[in-house]
């Protein structure tokens, strides 16, 4: 199956598309930076360590934070048409900050060298997948149901395993599946946003979609990085 819109883009369209994706990846990169700064603060300061201990020592606090993350995620996703661009950006960066907070507990389990190596590898893999999605002609729209089913499956099984089974083997299998699913979503999202741009009037009216695209790509990258770390990371 090939994309219906396979015409060669004009020079102006190519420049516009490049600028459009550049804005998406800037939003994503800022989100990653915010998460990294929060995680660094939490794991390297006395106040941050006390906050981390408070959150992870209380089931109510921990799952309250997770619930807030989900509320922000779904609020931005489903309310993007009602939100202003500024509020969508603010909520995304709040989401990224909270993600940095929750990830800090996981990062403490691994050596600094393995975190850095996995992060660099995740950047390389993500960049290749995003480029593939932007340039390839194969239509990924038929994979939508499969990818989103896989995403929800990873989420639900992770919760069940965390609450009840607590199996290291299941966690390892989930991590492998998650890397594959979010790798596929990276390709899918890149192609979807390319199609969105081409079908628009030179990117008109897509300001809020840039924020949403940044959030989608941020989530894809974080999930690839975190689950690759679980698979390959060296324990501290």
Q: What is the pLDDT of residues 5-47, one digit of tens each?
A: 445 666 667 888 899 999 999 999 999 999 999 999 998 888 8
Tell me the backbone φ, ψ of residue 205, rounded to 5 degrees.
Answer: 75, 15
- Is residue 216 one of the residues assigned to a domain? yes
> Percent of the chain beyond pLDDT 70?
92
- Is residue 2 one of the residues assigned to a domain? no
Domain count, the chain: 1
- pLDDT at position 151 over 60: yes
- Is residue 4 one of the residues assigned to a domain? no
- Is residue 128 one of the residues assigned to a domain? yes
Query: Taking a C-beta distance cutoff of 8 angstroms, is the pair 32, 219 a contact?
Result: no
- Is residue 33 one of the residues assigned to a domain? yes
- Is residue 133 one of the residues assigned to a domain? yes
Pair of tokens at residue 128? 């290749």
Provide the H-helix boundaries in the chain.
11-44, 46-56, 59-79, 85-107, 112-135, 144-160, 168-198, 207-232
Classified as helix, coil or strand, 119 is helix
Residues 163-217 have pLDDT tens digits of 777 778 888 999 999 999 999 999 999 999 999 998 876 666 788 899 999 999 9
pLDDT at 5: 45
- Is residue 78 one of the residues assigned to a domain? yes
Of 231, 19, 236, nearest to 125 by C-alpha is 231
- Is residue 178 one of the residues assigned to a domain? yes
What is the rounded average pLDDT of the residues 216-228? 96
Cβ atoms within 10 Å, residue 81: 7
Domain residue limits at 16: 11-232
What is the rounded average pLDDT of the residues 60-87? 87
């Amino acid at each position: 199956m090939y994309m219906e819109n396979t015409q060669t883009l004009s020079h102006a369209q190519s420049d516009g598309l490049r600028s459009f994706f550049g804005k998406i990846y800037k939003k994503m990169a800022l989100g990653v930076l915010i998460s990294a700064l929060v995680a660094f603060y939490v794991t390297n300061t006395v106040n941050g360590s006390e906050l981390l201990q408070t959150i992870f020592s209380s089931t109510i606090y921990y799952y309250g934070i997770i619930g807030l993350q989900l509320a922000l995620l779904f609020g931005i996703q489903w309310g993007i048409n009602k939100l202003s661009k500024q509020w969508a950006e603010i909520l995304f960066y709040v989401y990224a900050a909270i993600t940095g907070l929750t990830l800090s507990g996981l990062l403490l389990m691994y050596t600094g060298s393995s975190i850095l190596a996995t992060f660099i590898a995740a950047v390389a893999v993500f960049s290749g997948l995003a480029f593939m999605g932007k340039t390839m002609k194969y239509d990924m729209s038929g994979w939508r149901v499969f990818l989103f089913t896989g995403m929800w499956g990873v989420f639900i099984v992770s919760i069940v395993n965390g609450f009840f089974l607590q199996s290291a083997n299941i966690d390892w299998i989930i991590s492998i599946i998650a890397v594959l699913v979010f790798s596929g979503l990276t390709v899918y999202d890149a192609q979807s946003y390319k199609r969105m741009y081409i079908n628009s009037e030179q990117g008109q009216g897509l300001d809020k979609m840039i924020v949403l695209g940044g959030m989608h790509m941020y989530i894809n990258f974080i999930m690839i990085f975190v689950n690759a770390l679980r698979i390959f990371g060296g324990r501290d």
